[in-house]
């Protein structure tokens, strides 16, 4: 998946995109926070967070591009939700990320993808490393 050329399907309400301003062709649902962390440190914290999630598996990993894809299955029906993340280095040992979470099936997700990504971003920023 290429974040820069990503186009969201407006009729699908089962997707949530977080990215820096003007990073994607698509307009994000939320602008990415900036972290006072190196890109390697941000990736390490993200991976620890993902490892603690239930029903999660790694689908693809591109260490060179710093882009990863995961599948998290729903609790009861085991439907796959796909989460793609790309870590983006910034100047002065800061970093950010782009995250696209979407349901594989259906048109609605009752806010699950949004809630998932926002809770993960909240967990990453609770230690005060978010740039104001």
Give the global pTM: 0.90
Nearest Cα residue to 22 out of 13, 12, 35, 32: 32
Mean pLDDT across the stretch 95-118? 89
- Say if residue 52's pLDDT is above 70: yes
Supply the angle between the helices 112-125 and 39-51 in degrees, to the nearest 10.
120
- Say if residue 11's pLDDT is above 70: no
Q: Which residue has the higher pLDDT, 53 or 129?
A: 53
| Torsion sign across C-alpha atoms 122, 80, 110, 32 | positive
Tokens of 96: 């950010």
What per-residue confidence (pLDDT) applies to 128? 45
Mean pLDDT across the stretch 88-107? 92
Domain 15-118 indexed as CATH 3.30.310.220: yes
For 69, residues 6+ apart whose C-beta sits below 8 A from its C-beta are: 1, 58, 59, 60, 61, 82, 83, 84, 85
Q: How confident is the model at residue 54 (pLDDT cuts 50, 70, 90)?
A: very high
Domain residue ranges of the chain, discontinuous segments joined by +: 15-118
Tell me the C-alpha distance between 91 and 95, whole Å.
8
Q: How confident is the model at residue 5 (pLDDT cuts 50, 70, 90)?
A: very high
The CA angle 34-39-42, to the nearest 5 degrees, is 75
- Say if residue 132's pLDDT is above 70: no
- Say if residue 24's pLDDT is above 70: yes
């Amino acid at each position: 998946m290429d974040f820069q050329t990503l186009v969201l399907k407006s009729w699908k309400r089962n997707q949530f995109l977080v990215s820096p301003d003007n990073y994607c062709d698509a307009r994000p649902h939320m602008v990415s926070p900036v972290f006072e962390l190196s890109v390697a440190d941000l990736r390490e914290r993200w991976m620890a967070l993902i490892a603690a999630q239930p029903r999660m598996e790694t689908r693809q990993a591109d260490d060179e591009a710093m882009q990863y894809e995961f599948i998290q299955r729903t609790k009861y029906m085991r439907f796959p939700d796909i989460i793609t993340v790309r870590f983006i280095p910034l100047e002065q040992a800061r970093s950010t990320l782009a995250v696209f979470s979407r349901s594989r099936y259906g048109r609605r997700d009752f806010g699950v993808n949004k809630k998932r990504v926002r809770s993960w971003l909240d967990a990453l920023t609770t230690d005060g490393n978010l740039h104001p």
